[in-house]
Copies of this chain bind each other. A is one copy, B any other.
Amino acid sequence: MTISNTRPRRGRPPKTERGFEDTREALLRQGMVVLTEQVFSSTGLDSILKAVGVPKGSFYHYFPSKEAFGLAVLERYDAYFAAKLDYHLLDDRFTPLQRLRHFADDARAGMEKHGFRRGCLAGNLGQEVSVLPESFRERIGAVFTNWQRRVEALLEEARDNGTLTADADCAALAEYFWIGWEGAVMRARLTANDAPLELFVERFIAGLPQTR
């Protein structure tokens, strides 16, 4: 991939042989790794640049600001996570509530793989919102709305097939799920095991307005 001349640039050109888009992609991926684990406001860009092999000082070649980088990482994480949700929640070989469990199992395995050090990037940024630029508040909210809509559609399917009662408020239940799920991810980081995730999803399903 060649470096486009149409993009505005600042700073030194990169010394790496990767193209512009490849390097930008590597920075976003490293950003996802770091920001699922660390606090954005106290994360230095240097460590991210170093991990990717991009010389200090050429960051602004790829992103206009740290804020723009953070928002781009969040956008990338949103897309990654929405795809993970779709993979499980749209798998109609299983019942809707089984699919929700499969998503939870996947998330549990993912947290375990990284020793429960990594949490949810949107949840982490949400905790910092009072010290971040105001642009983050709306964007993080939109990410949760995006994920909630997917769970809402799943619960509507469960309502329409008679698993949930006809008066189940699927939008409110989906929001309730994500509010609590973020708490469960937080607690799993604290306990360094998957028990909070398992407890949460089990009790959430048990508390749904089911017809049987």
Q: Which residues of A contact B (CB under 8 A)?
A: 37-39, 41-42, 117, 119, 123-124, 126-131, 137, 140-141, 144, 172-173, 175-176, 178-184, 186-187, 189-192, 196, 199-200, 203-204, 206-209
For A172, the chain B residues whose CB sits under 8 A away are 199, 203
A interface, over-half SS = helix
Known: A182-B183, A183-B181, A206-B207. A190 touches B140 (CB 8 A): yes
For A141, the chain B residues whose CB sits under 8 A away are 190-191
Known: A37-B130, A137-B190, A140-B190. A179 touches B175 (CB 8 A): no
For A129, the chain B residues whose CB sits under 8 A away are 189-190
CA gap between A115 and B178 in the complex, in Å: 23
CB distance from A91 to the nearest CB of B (A): 25
